[in-house]
Amino acid sequence: MNTSGHKNGEWLRMTRLYHEWQEIREEIMRHKWYESEKAGHDIGWERAMVDWLIRYGRHRRHLQS
């Protein structure tokens, strides 16, 4: 699929949504590392993501409004 001259998903990488997701993903990855260190084992992406969303997701949304 070619959208406005952009190849494949190139147009997606230029969107605000994509950049916000990249920032959130990095925050979750840091959270995963920190919580895994505390637990003494890898807690996994899903647990880290859910925990991050519960703890920080709402606060982050308010900051961006």
DSSP codes, 16-38? HHHHHHHHHHHHHHHHHHHHHHH
* DSSP annotation of 56: I
With a pLDDT cut of 70, the percent of the chain lying above it is 82
pTM as predicted? 0.74
Give the residue-averaged pLDDT of 54-60.
Answer: 83
The CA–CA distances, whole Å, from 40 to 4, 33, 61 equal 49, 10, 30
Q: Is a pLDDT exceeding 70 seen at residue 30? A: yes
Are 52 and 60 within 8 A, CB to CB?
Answer: no
| The residue count for the chain | 65
Identify the CA nearest to 33 among candidates 47, 19, 21, 20: 47
